Amino acid sequence: MIAVLGLVVGVIGGIVLQPTVPLSVQPYLPIAVVAALDALFGGLRALLDGIFDDRVFVVSFLSNAVVAALIVFLGDQLGVGTQLSTAVVVVLGIRIFSNAAAIRRHLFKA
Amino acid sequence: MSVTDPPGSPDAPEPPDRRSPWRTIGQALRPRGSRSQLLAGLLCALLGFAVVVQVRQNQVEGLSRLPQSELVRILDQANQRTDDLEREAAALEATRQELLSGSGQQAAALEAATAAAETQGILSGRLPAQGPGIELVISDPRGDITPIALFNVLEELRNAGAEAIQLDDVRIVASSYFTGAPGAVVVDGVPVEAPYRWTVIGDPDTMGPALEIPGGALAQIRNYGGSGTPQSRLQVEVTATRAVPEPRFATPLPADEG
């Protein structure tokens, strides 16, 4: 419940504050968001698997976002930023799908 | 590092094998002041915030997030479009100028043609005319004035620059001729009778003295017993007109060869 509340609070905060993303962060924020989404779905799946651990969740959430951003940053430095961010999004998308499938199997037995 | 990794901490909850997954979620959602719930809430807030910010950013600045190659392509397209439109604008402007000058030229040509037609009409006797000139009434009490004498008067008037001439009711033109006998003069096939009334448009100060030259046209008239004195007028009207026949044989020489 607190997690859902936090989500709502964050959305409202974003709408109300209307912050501008600093230019240096702009390329990495969307990747970090996708990585965080992946961590969120992973956490939900772990919860249903009965192996949820808050420490693991927090660490994986933060490290996923940071690593994804780092990969894109490295790709930008190497001149393959666009391709690498595409690769990261694809990988994270696949993981989100598989996590969502596992959650679905848990909830609906199908 | 992934959340699907096996938990490393010893205080991980026991796998709730026999419990329904919905119950698991319900339990997890039940608000408790536990550390894990607070952390998850904090992270979810962060995620929601980031998502909203990113969505807004994406909506506000569409171009700033595009890769360089895409931007170059868009710029190229815009430039090409600009060039196309500029070319089109130039073509349309040229057409407009053409049409404007064309209609201007047409108007000028029409004006010139109208003016020329008026001039030709007056000179050829097709149009009535008015202007400064002289009136000359030649009386012929003895009936001795010959057609030649009247023709000499006409020649003198032409030499003095007369522009429109009327004798009685006959408009005198380039092809006018005098025939008949003294006292029964025929002009262009129309008999005229004394007194011969000339109405002439031209410079009165030139035509009057020209007629009065010693031994000239009027002197000849007086030899035949006639009399007449040119009267200067500021305004005389030549009302008789003459239909101008189309030339049967002559056609204009082409302008570029003339």
What DSSP string runs through B135-156?
A: EEEEB-TTS---HHHHHHHHHH
The answer, for A8 touching chain B at a CB cutoff of 8 Å, is yes
Q: Is residue A91 part of a domain?
A: yes
- Per-residue model confidence (pLDDT) at position B12: 42
Q: Is residue A94 part of a domain?
A: yes
Domains and CATH numbers, chain B: 129-238 (3.30.70.1880)
A59 and B51 within 8 Å at the Cβ level: the answer is no
**Portion of chain A with pLDDT greater than 90, in percent:** 12
Selected residues 28-57 of chain A with any CB under 8 Å from a CB in chain B: 29-30, 32-33, 36-37, 39-40, 42-43, 45-57
- Per-residue model confidence (pLDDT) at position B18: 52
pTM recorded for the entire structure:
0.43
Run means of pLDDT, 10 residues per run, chain B, 258 residues:
42 51 73 73 84 78 72 92 96 92 87 88 86 89 86 88 88 86 86 87 88 84 86 88 83 72
User: Which of B2, B5, B13 is opposite residue A50, by nearest beta carbon?
Assistant: B13
- Per-residue model confidence (pLDDT) at position B79: 95
Question: What is the domain count for chain A?
Answer: 1
Whether A102 shows a pLDDT value over 60: the answer reads yes
For residue A68, list chain B residues with Cβ-Cβ distance below 8 A: none
Q: Is residue A68 part of a domain?
A: yes
For residue A49, list chain B residues with Cβ-Cβ distance below 8 A: 4, 15
B50 and A107 within 8 Å at the Cβ level: the answer is no
Q: Is residue A16 part of a domain?
A: no
Q: Is residue A90 part of a domain?
A: yes
- Per-residue model confidence (pLDDT) at position B1: 40
Distance CA B37, CA A104 (A): 23
- Per-residue model confidence (pLDDT) at position B258: 45
Q: Give tens-digit pLDDT for A13-64.
A: 888 887 777 777 777 888 888 898 898 888 888 888 888 787 888 888 889 8
For residue A20, list chain B residues with Cβ-Cβ distance below 8 A: 57
- Per-residue model confidence (pLDDT) at position B60: 66
User: Which of A2, A9, A29 is opposite residue B54, by nearest beta carbon?
Assistant: A29
Query: B20, B12, B2: which is closest to A43 by C-alpha?
Result: B2
What's the gap in Å between the CA of B18 and the closest CA on chain A?
11
User: A80 falls in which pLDDT band (50, 70, 90)?
Assistant: confident
Higher pLDDT, B218 or A94: A94
A6 and B7 within 8 Å at the Cβ level: the answer is no
Full domain range(s) for residue A43: 27-108
- Per-residue model confidence (pLDDT) at position B207: 87
